[in-house]
Amino acid sequence: MVLWSVVLLAFLATLATFGRVALTIMLGIVLGWFLGYAAAKNGLFERVFLSLTQTLESVPVITFFPIVLIFFVKSIGGYIGTELAVDFLVFTAVVWNIWVGEYEAIKTAPQSLEDATEMLNLGFWGKFRYLYIPVTMPRVAGNVLVSFADALFYIVVSEVVTLGTTQYSVFGIGALVASWTSRGEWTAALTGLGVLVIMVTAVLFGILRPFVDWAVKYSYDPFMEITRTRIRRPIITSRVRSLAARNIRYLRRVTAVEDAIMPIFIRASSYAVRHRLLVRPRPRNIVTQSERYIGIGIAVLIIGLITYSIYESWETTWVPIINDLYKYGLLYLYYLGLDWLRVVLVTASAILTAIPVNYLMVTHRRIEAILLPILEDLASIPVSAYLPLIAIPFITYLAMNLGLHMSLEVLVFIVAYLSTAWYVIYNMYVGMKTIPRSLWDVAENLRLSTWQRLRRLAIPGAMPATITGLASTVGSTWGGLEVAEYIQGLNGRIYMVNGYTALMDYYTAIGNIIGLEAMSLILAINVILLSVFLWRKLFRLARERYRLEGAITL
């Protein structure tokens, strides 16, 4: 194939892929505003929302294959059915972190601003326009970058859907590179990856980075100095710099007193506002009697639908699933424990990476201007696109020194880390970036060490956003394990480790729908328990203890 035709084909395929990603992300943002608002204002809906989002985010994309294939491909049929299936799979891979981020932003919105909207008698749409949409913009900006990278990571899985011996695909860069790689057309595959990298870089610096810079102005800090990493300040002489530094330190000591006194007046005015609102109190996080009845009615309806669906499919679906769990349940739990160990290791590594990297970027603008674009570009280049090209040479090289099993484990760890670490890195970065400037000035005036600033300011200040990133990281790690634990070589040889998602990949390859549904059921129950007993408590801790509203007190 002529080189220019390969470039043109790869360019058109990348445009098709980016169109799918943009459509799903924009739809996810709009839906997330309403779902996040409903969850933040209604305790009953909040419980359901968090449980469902954590469950669906943590269940790997591959587990949606039976639903997608049966409903979209089999029911609708043709290219349209396959296209809808791919869009659905991409949607399930990118929206959950956006929704959780928007919920967390609305949930932790400053009480003083909410009181102001009540005093101004803003209606529902007025509150959305002037408060809730702006307050979510920093979280949306941080999560859009990660969702864009995550969507590209899953694009190979989504654009090429295989079940048993049948393969369904749509036109896109993921399907194109996978096709070239399977046929051994290395030049075309590398050219396609090159086009993808160039277009990813163009989107990052032409669209997403300006959006992030624009969203910074919606951070809640009236004294915050708005900065943009692309602005370069003129270089001055050391003598002038020294004089300016002394004057700035003096001004900061003066303004620190004002910054410390300001929360007193804010709390006083907030008390006055709440006193005026006593005649029409606005319950917060309280389930009213009408809401309780509505929730009970919805719960009864959902339980009824689930019961009816189970009854209708009892003999054809649930009896085989129960038999499969009876035979292989202990094996599934053992593999689940192995993968949870991998998830914990990857998450811990991501946290240890995110803390120093984000602190350096937030406190040193030159490092931020250099490092942040590099991280964004690396995060957006999907590992799944070039994994087939590097997996076999990587395994072969490491196997000579570490053995085949250990080399596979190293590959799984690296791929899982590269596919999920960006969630906690970006969310922690957004959290540290939106810490009020006055708090950094107080830390400087108190001459706190780097460790003290991390322990007392940076980490606590970024905690709400970090918890959001951790929830997304833990959930998406399963997707990274799904891609890395089961690899098919060019010679038809299968490389796999002992793991839960590896067995799910194997079941998908051989068309074992019953086994796949049984394992999906176990994973869903596991994630629901995690959401109820861990994430809900962490989110509550974040909004009750680590809110920055009124953080400076005398």
pLDDT value, residue 287 = 53
- Evaluate whether 382 touches 152 at the Cβ level (below 8 Å): yes
pLDDT value, residue 30 = 92
The percent of residues above 70 in pLDDT, for the chain, comes to 77
3 state DSSP class of 496: strand
Mark 482-520 as b/e (b = at least 16 C-beta within 10 Å). bbbbbbeeeeeeebbbebbbbbbbbbbeeebbbbbbbbb
Query: How buried is residue 464: exposed, middle or buried, by Cβ count under 10 Å (0-12/13-18/19+)?
Result: buried
- Evaluate whether 35 touches 48 at the Cβ level (below 8 Å): no
pTM of the model: 0.69
Among 294-298, 432-436, 497-501, the minimum mean pLDDT is found in 294-298
Task: Write down the domain spans for the chain.
Answer: 1-221, 313-547
Rounded to whole angstroms, the Cα distance separating 411 from 302 reads 42
Rounded to whole angstroms, the Cα distance separating 323 from 320 reads 5
pLDDT, mean of residues 79-88? 82
pLDDT of residue 493 exceeding 80, the answer is no
**Which tens digit of pLDDT belongs to each residue from 422-452?**
778 888 888 888 888 888 888 888 888 888 8
pLDDT, mean of residues 200-213? 85
Output the average pLDDT for the chain. Answer: 75
**Which residue did the predictor score with more confidence, 473 or 345?**
345
**Which tens digit of pLDDT belongs to each residue from 500-523?**
988 888 887 787 888 888 888 888
Residue 235 burial (CB count, 10 A): 6
pLDDT value, residue 256 = 44
pLDDT, mean of residues 23-34? 90
The CATH number of 313-547, from 1.10.3720.10, 3.30.470.30, 3.40.50.720, 3.40.50.970, is 1.10.3720.10
Nearest 5°: phi and psi at 550? 70, 35
Residue 461 burial (CB count, 10 A): 23
Domain 1-221 homologous superfamily, CATH: MetI-like (1.10.3720.10)
**Which tens digit of pLDDT belongs to each residue from 158-178?**
777 666 667 777 888 888 887
pLDDT value, residue 152 = 79
DSSP 455-472: IIIIHHHTHHHHHHHHHH
With bands split at pLDDT 50, 70 and 90, how would you rate the model's confidence at 552?
very low
With bands split at pLDDT 50, 70 and 90, how would you rate the model's confidence at 332?
very high
pLDDT, mean of residues 250-277? 40
Contacts for 407-413 with beta carbons within 8 Å, 24 or more apart? 408/495, 408/496, 408/497, 409/497, 411/484, 412/342, 412/481, 412/484, 412/485, 412/497, 412/499, 413/342, 413/345, 413/346
Residue 359 burial (CB count, 10 A): 21
- Evaluate whether 509 touches 163 at the Cβ level (below 8 Å): no
Residue 110 burial (CB count, 10 A): 17
With bands split at pLDDT 50, 70 and 90, how would you rate the model's confidence at 357?
very high
Helices 463-484, 383-402: axis angle to 10 degrees equals 70
pLDDT, mean of residues 316-320? 81
pLDDT value, residue 241 = 39
pLDDT of residue 105 exceeding 50, the answer is yes
Residue 167 neighbours by CB under 8 Å, 6+ apart? 160, 161
